[in-house]
Amino acid sequence: MNKAPLPLLDNGKLDLAQVKNGILLLTFDDGRFETWLPQLELFEKFNARATFFYDKEITAEAADSMKQLRSCGHSVGLHTINHKDALDITPEAYYAQYILPQVEQAEAHGVRDISFFAYPNNRHSEEFDTFLSQYFSRFRAGTKIKAPKGYWIADFEEPYVPLEELAGHKVMGGCGIGPFYETTQENLDDALEKAAFENKAVTFFSHAILSEAKTVHMAAATLEAMLEKAAGSGMVIAGFNELP
């Protein structure tokens, strides 16, 4: 188990010169905080941080969960107020109608400086990335891999980002985890081994964390197995806050 402190610079960002076995970036969508908070002890067990994205209204309860996640070192971001795909309207209208209300609600409950955004259904474009960059420093989308569900992740290069390219890599393309994506533990283990061996960053996304995996959600046992595999491989398990 890797219990060493994250190799951070004074500004709270990763000291990439000290990262020798890659970075695991776990992200979770749709504001399923009632399933995320019970896993905080598991994340702590492996000295792991993750990034959690909220859709729907930012209520007082949701904001409290954001504060709790942040207090435990995790990153939080937004995912639109109604899980609305980008591309159907202008970037300006998209931000005003579907993101700004969340920003205002979060600020009203004392949650400020939200710097990360996950595109609903991973739909985005360079135009949207450029416009929204004035509000967010980093995005989570999907990959452009054209392959059937259950594809072997380690066979592709796209999910893997060399550390020297991280600072300029604003859109992190993730691979989905859960029965809907037909991921297996062997597939995930191999994907993590590749990232560790090549010393690259790899991003995954899921939604709720459940006792039993369903559709687009992750099983708690899968999360624990991934954290154990990554930590055992010497990987840094970080959130978007720690990326340069």
In this predicted structure, what is the pLDDT of residue 68?
Answer: 98
Whose CA is closest to 227, among 67, 19, 38, 47?
A: 47
Whose CA is closest to 29, among 239, 201, 216, 202?
A: 216
Report pLDDT digits (tens) over 81-100: 999 999 989 999 999 999 99
In this predicted structure, what is the pLDDT of residue 3?
Answer: 58
Report pLDDT digits (tens) over 34-86: 999 999 999 999 999 999 999 999 999 999 999 999 999 999 999 999 999 99
Domain annotation for the chain: domains and CATH numbers: 22-242 (3.20.20.370)
In this predicted structure, what is the pLDDT of residue 5?
Answer: 78
Structure token digits, residue 25? 């970036």
Residues in the chain: 244
Beta-strand runs (E) in the chain: 23-28, 51-54, 75-78, 116-118, 138-142, 160-162, 171-176, 200-206, 209-210, 218-219, 236-238
Q: Are the C-beta atoms of 131 and 91 separated by less than 8 Å?
A: yes
Cα atoms found within 13 Å of the Cα of residue 105, Cβ hemisphere only:
20
Which residues in the chain land under pLDDT 50? Answer: none
In this predicted structure, what is the pLDDT of residue 35?
Answer: 98
In this predicted structure, what is the pLDDT of residue 88?
Answer: 86
Instruction: Please give the share of the chain, as a percent, with pLDDT higher than 90.
Output: 98
